[in-house]
């Protein structure tokens, strides 16, 4: 029975030609393609030239045995089967044949019926093995595809899980690009977001890019690959960027591979930015499957980014409210405007990109603005002078004012300084122009409209603070004047009493004529008036308001230091504080104690005309000789010192070694501290410094 549909190819190898012819005839009758060779070298050529499904070979061949043929066959085609024939059958050769992979082992003379059956079964086995291998290969491929899909789904799941649990925008963007490169298998990638104010793309997170590239890359919408994708809002896969007429790359060193992916971060119809991937890990080009996966990934990422944006805005609003509250409460405890302006600048700098702050004073008489105060984040940078002639209506025109100040400041700040980096706010109180608040950055990001609004609100708060600071300054001066009057009037009492007594002695003499008597009466009357005037001044300057209260001493010390801060800065004096914590309160009159501390600190500053270090310390101490607990306040300077011969006289009224001095400062300090049941001690060395110690009982 023949089977004409069989297409298997069979090679017969035997040195007996009659055997070859017989076997070929049998095989062709069965429908197989059969060929026979009788020499070893022919056999080798046939095996190398063509792939045979089955080889039937005699084991014993001249120059080459069947085992060598078997080895060559398996090297050429591992799926080929070999059947051995031999007239010298042995157990050893049979075992060797099976071990080398022979399908069967037939002995001569052949039983042609068995031969036919063996050949058919061998080819059926080969067909079965091939089908099985194809099935296994298909299954392996499907498993790989399934594994890839599971990996992709897991990555998308992890993405959703990670992105939904991350509210911080910067951290979120880093997670997005890390997951995207991992899922798609790319070495290099970036997330670029759109700046809504200038419609430019900037790199917000990246992997595999240099820091300089990340910082300096800015793309206009529509330009380059990312700009094109952002403008069109559609994903893009480029198989070979060098052949794409739209995006032929200029820098050939930028990419390792020519294939690129760029997908928009799109939510509804709004494009937030793009994800770019290139340099695939395996060196191949990106596929449509990669593009589809990245597009799905980007849609999830866009939702997370939008949520993070909303969270950032809410966080920003909360920060702004906290900032306004902190400034409103913080400035209420400050008195010196330098300290207030510095405080406001420090608070704003935490939230906004600011590195300088100016306060410009307005002189209505001359219609000029001049630099009143400046603070910058760069210690070596200061504006030497700033004075401009501006009319009030020009100042209130914010556009013109901003432009004029920008052109005046630009030479100081350099080419990178732009008008968008500057905020100017005129300060008005009750319709009166007080000055101009000016803040900004030299070369950082543009200040947005919301930044401008926030600064304007803070500036309006600073206006009231500015007025309060001036009022406090005037009040401080009045208090000082009142205390001086009190001292002077108190000291006038004694000479007035002496003069009055002398006049009474003169009046008792009978030798006085009428004119002299009249002059004495007039003088005595004027002395009486002076005495009454002194009483009135004493009562006015000290109208029974010296009742002590239990007060914490450190806030009073801090206040005294803050009031002299401008003098210390201008005098190049560094004030160092060392205050013990949890000091108990003491009974004091706050104004009087403040005055005494101010006098001591002012004296220390004046004693250091070339600058130096001023130490102010406060601690609790026990004095065994007094058997009492005291608060000890120590004020030490590095000034000119006091001559030993003058040291015991420094608390005397009117004693002074300074030109223009009144000699009342330390006398007042001594009087105030003694009135509080305390005392003052002093140590000094000429050209080394002086230390005052104030002891107040607890």
- pLDDT tens for residues 48-79? 888 888 989 888 877 777 788 888 888 877 77
The closest alpha carbon to 537, from 595, 598, 494, 481, belongs to 481
Average pLDDT over residues 502-517: 71
The band of 661, judged by pLDDT with boundaries at 50, 70 and 90, is: low
Q: Is the pLDDT of residue 87 over 70?
A: yes
Q: Is the pLDDT of residue 252 over 50?
A: no
Average model confidence (pLDDT) for the chain?
80
Q: Given this model, what pLDDT does residue 557 score?
A: 93
Higher pLDDT among residues 263 and 455, named by residue:
263
Task: Supply angle C-alpha 164, 167, 171, rounded to 5.
Answer: 100
Q: Is the pLDDT of residue 156 over 70?
A: no
Average pLDDT over residues 6-24: 86
- pLDDT tens for residues 582-641? 899 998 888 889 888 988 998 899 889 889 999 999 999 988 666 789 999 999 999 988
- pLDDT tens for residues 432-454? 677 888 888 877 667 777 787 88
**Are 308 and 166 a contacting pair, CB within 8 Å?**
yes
State how far the Cα of 669 lies from the Cα of 679, in Å rounded to an integer. Answer: 10
- pLDDT tens for residues 673-682? 887 888 888 8
- pLDDT tens for residues 529-557? 677 666 645 654 554 445 678 889 999 99
Q: Is the pTM here over 0.85, yes or no?
A: no
Longest dimension (CA), the chain: 188
- Report the percent of the chain where pLDDT is more than 70: 81
**Are 382 and 376 a contacting pair, CB within 8 Å?**
yes
- Report the percent of the chain where pLDDT is more than 90: 14
For the chain, list the domains and their CATH numbers: 9-133 (3.40.50.2300), 166-314 (3.30.450.40), 334-544 (3.30.450.40), 549-697 (3.30.565.10)
- pLDDT tens for residues 392-429? 778 888 888 888 888 888 888 777 788 888 888 887 76
Q: Given this model, what pLDDT does residue 251 score?
A: 41
Higher pLDDT among residues 386 and 5, named by residue:
386
State how far the Cα of 323 lies from the Cα of 351, in Å rounded to an integer. Answer: 8
The pair of structure tokens assigned to 393 is: 């209506």
Question: What CA–CA distances, in Å, run from 531 to 482, 486, 489, 525, 536?
Answer: 18, 14, 9, 10, 9
């Amino acid at each position: 029975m023949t089977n004409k549909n069989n297409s298997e190819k069979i090679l017969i190898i035997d040195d007996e030609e009659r055997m070859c012819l017989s076997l070929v005839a049998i095989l062709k009758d069965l429908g197989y393609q059969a060929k026979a060779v009788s020499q070893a070298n022919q056999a080798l050529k046939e095996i190398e030239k063509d792939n045979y499904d089955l080889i039937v070979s005699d084991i014993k061949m001249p120059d080459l045995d069947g085992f060598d043929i078997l080895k060559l066959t398996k090297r050429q085609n591992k799926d080929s089967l070999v059947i051995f024939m031999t007239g010298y059958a042995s157990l050893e050769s049979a075992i060797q044949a099976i071990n080398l992979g022979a399908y069967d082992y037939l002995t001569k003379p052949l039983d042609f019926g068995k031969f036919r059956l063996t050949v058919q079964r061998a080819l059926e086995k080969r067909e079965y093995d091939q089908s099985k291998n194809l099935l296994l290969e298909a299954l392996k491929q499907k498993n790989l595809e399934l594994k890839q899909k599971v990996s992709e789904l897991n990555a998308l799941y992890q993405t959703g899980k990670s992105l939904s649990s991350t509210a911080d925008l910067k951290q979120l963007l880093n997670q997005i690009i890390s997951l995207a490169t991992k899922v798609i298998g790319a070495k290099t990638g970036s997330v670029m977001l759109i700046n809504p104010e200038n419609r430019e793309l900037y790199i917000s997170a990246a992997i595999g890019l240099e820091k300089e590239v990340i910082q300096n890359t800015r793309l206009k919408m529509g330009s380059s690959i990312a700009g094109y994708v952002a403008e069109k809002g559609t994903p893009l896969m480029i198989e070979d960027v060098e052949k794409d007429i739209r995006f032929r790359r200029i820098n050939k060193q930028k990419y390792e591979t020519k294939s690129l992916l760029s997908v928009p971060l799109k939510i509804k119809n709004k494009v937030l930015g793009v994800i770019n991937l290139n340099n695939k890990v395996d060196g191949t080009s990106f596929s449509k499957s990669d593009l589809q996966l990245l597009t799905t990934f980007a849609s999830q990422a866009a939702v997370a980014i939008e949520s993070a944006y909303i969270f950032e805005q809410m966080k920003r609003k909360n920060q702004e409210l906290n900032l306004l509250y902190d400034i409103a409460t913080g400035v209420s405890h400050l008195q010196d405007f330098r300290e207030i302006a510095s405080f406001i600048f420090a608070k704003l700098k935490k939230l906004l990109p600011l590195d300088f702050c100016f306060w410009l004073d307005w002189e209505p008489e001359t219609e000029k603005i001049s630099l009143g105060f400046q603070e910058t984040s760069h210690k070596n940078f200061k504006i030497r002078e700033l004075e401009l002639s501006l009319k009030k209506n020009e100042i209130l025109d914010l556009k013109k004012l901003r432009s004029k100040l920008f052109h005046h400041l630009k030479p100081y700040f350099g080419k990178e300084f732009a008008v968008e980096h500057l905020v100017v706010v005129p300060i008005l109180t009750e319709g009166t122009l007080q000055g101009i608040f000016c803040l900004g950055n030299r070369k950082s990001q543009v200040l947005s409209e919301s930044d401008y609004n926030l600064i304007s609100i803070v500036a309006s708060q600073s206006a009231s603070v500015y007025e309060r600071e001036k009022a406090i300054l005037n009040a401080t001066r009045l208090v000082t004047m009142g205390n001086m009057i009190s001292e002077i009037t108190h000291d006038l009492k004694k000479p007035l009493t002496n003069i009055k007594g002398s006049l009474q002695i003169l009046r008792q003499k009978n030798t006085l004529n009428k004119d002299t008597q009249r002059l004495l009466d007039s003088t005595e009357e004027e002395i009486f008036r002076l005495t009454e005037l002194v009483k009135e001044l004493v009562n006015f300057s000290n109208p029974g308001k010296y009742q002590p209260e239990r007060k914490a001493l450190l806030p009073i010390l801090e206040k005294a230091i803050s009031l002299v801060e401008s003098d210390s800065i201008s005098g190049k004096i560094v004030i160092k504080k060392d205050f013990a914590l949890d000091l108990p309160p003491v009974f004091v009159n706050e104004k009087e104690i403040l005055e005494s501390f101010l006098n001591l600190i002012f004296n220390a500053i004046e004693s250091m005309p070339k600058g130096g270090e001023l130490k102010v310390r406060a601690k609790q101490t026990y004095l065994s000789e007094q058997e009492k607990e005291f608060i000890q306040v120590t004020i030490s300077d590095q000034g000119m010192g006091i001559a030993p011969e003058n040291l015991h006289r420094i608390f005397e009224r009117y004693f002074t070694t300074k030109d223009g001095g009144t000699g009342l400062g330390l006398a007042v300090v001594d009087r105030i501290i003694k009135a509080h049941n305390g005392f003052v001690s002093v140590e000094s060395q000429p050209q080394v410094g002086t230390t005052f110690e104030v002891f107040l009982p607890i």
